[in-house]
């Protein structure tokens, strides 16, 4: 997008009422302000009318430190509210002082602003590993009590991820375990034991219709859901490798058939 770098007085800036961060720690702002006195490494971003797109913490810190000006990237393009939110949330996500709850919220908002995105698209946009996105989105699969515990920093994101693998009906007890001092590994163990205690339901043929209209068919002798997950993971890994090697979908499936025959 067209943009220019300028230096503007603090009075020129104004906060955006839709800023995702609602709380600003004054001690942290004062510390940031002292560093800004030495050097402003990252310019803030604002609309041509001074409304901040990204960098409200820097602006507030500069005011507390008694600074008069800030470097700012001014965007000339008439950005939609969605585009502005994407820019702000993307930068917001990578802040070093962001906690896991705030990262989760930022991820959820980015997904809501990009209705066609999957987790892999979010990972590519944020330049982070897909497994990290899976963990950061795990609070969405948990009951409100787990989400609140994460917000209050009583639990970590890995604890939430472990709990998200279990049905909501079991998550109350898991949270009680965690708050009583149980480790993440203990929560994982409870989940594994429950999965082992419940006999898996198996089928010889599964036909899954996807929202995109495509169908995935899996067949075999007494296939369980865990085996489906393992099989799909293997297929996904193979397909990605085929794409990197420049294969077409047809040549990839032919190669998979040949590989299966050799193993047989």
CATH of the domain at 29: 3.90.1530.10
Residue 113 lies in a domain: no
Torsion (CA) 98, 11, 16, 119 in degrees, nearest 10: -40
Domain that holds residue 145: 119-197
**Pair (155, 185) in one structural domain:** yes
% the chain with pLDDT above 70:
88
Same domain, residue pair 18 and 66: yes
Tell me, yes or no, whether 65 and 149 share the same domain.
Answer: no
Judge whether 114 lies within some domain. Answer: no
pLDDT by residue (tens digit) across 56-98? 889 999 999 999 999 888 887 766 778 777 877 887 787 767 8
Among the candidates 98, 133, 160, a domain finishes at 98
Q: Among 174, 197, 220, which residue terminates a domain?
A: 197
Q: Take residue 191 and report the two structure tokens written for it.
A: 């989940």
From residue 114, how far is each of 8, 24, 143 by CA, in Å?
32, 27, 24
Residue 53 lies in a domain: yes
pTM, full prediction: 0.55
Residues 191 and 218 in one domain: no
Could you tell me if 215 and 178 lie in one domain? no
Most confident of 18-27, 45-54, 93-102: 45-54
Query: What is d(CA 6, CA 40) in angstroms, rounded to the nearest whole number?
Result: 13
Residue with the bigger pLDDT between 42 and 64: it is 64
Total tally of structural domains belonging to the chain: 3
């Amino acid at each position: 997008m067209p943009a220019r770098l300028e230096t503007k007085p603090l009075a020129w800036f104004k906060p955006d009422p839709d800023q995702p961060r609602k709380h600003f720690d004054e001690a942290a702002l004062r510390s940031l302000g002292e560093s800004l006195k030495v050097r402003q490494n990252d310019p803030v971003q604002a609309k041509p009318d001074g409304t901040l797109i990204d960098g409200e913490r820097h602006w507030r810190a500069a005011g507390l430190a008694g600074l008069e000006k800030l470097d700012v990237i001014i965007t000339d393009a008439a950005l939609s509210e969605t585009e502005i939110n994407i820019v702000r949330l993307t930068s917001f996500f990578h802040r070093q002082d962001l906690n896991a709850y705030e990262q989760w919220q930022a991820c959820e908002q980015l997904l809501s602003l990009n209705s066609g995105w999957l987790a892999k698209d979010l990972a590519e946009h944020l330049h982070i590993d897909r497994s990290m996105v899976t963990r950061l989105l795990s609070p969405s699969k948990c009951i409100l009590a787990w989400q609140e515990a994460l917000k209050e920093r009583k639990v970590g994101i890995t604890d939430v991820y472990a709990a998200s693998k279990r049905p909501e009906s079991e998550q109350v007890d898991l949270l009680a375990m965690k708050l009583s001092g149980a480790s993440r590994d203990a929560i994982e163990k409870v989940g594994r034991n429950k999965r082992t205690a419940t006999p898996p339901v198996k089928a010889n043929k599964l036909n899954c219709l996807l929202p995109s209209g495509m169908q995935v068919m899996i067949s075999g002798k007494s296939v369980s859901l865990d085996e489906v997950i393992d099989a799909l993971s293997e297929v996904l890994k193979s397909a990605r490798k085929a794409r990197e090697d420049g294969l077409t979908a047809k040549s990839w499936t032919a190669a998979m058939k040949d590989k299966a025959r050799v193993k047989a």
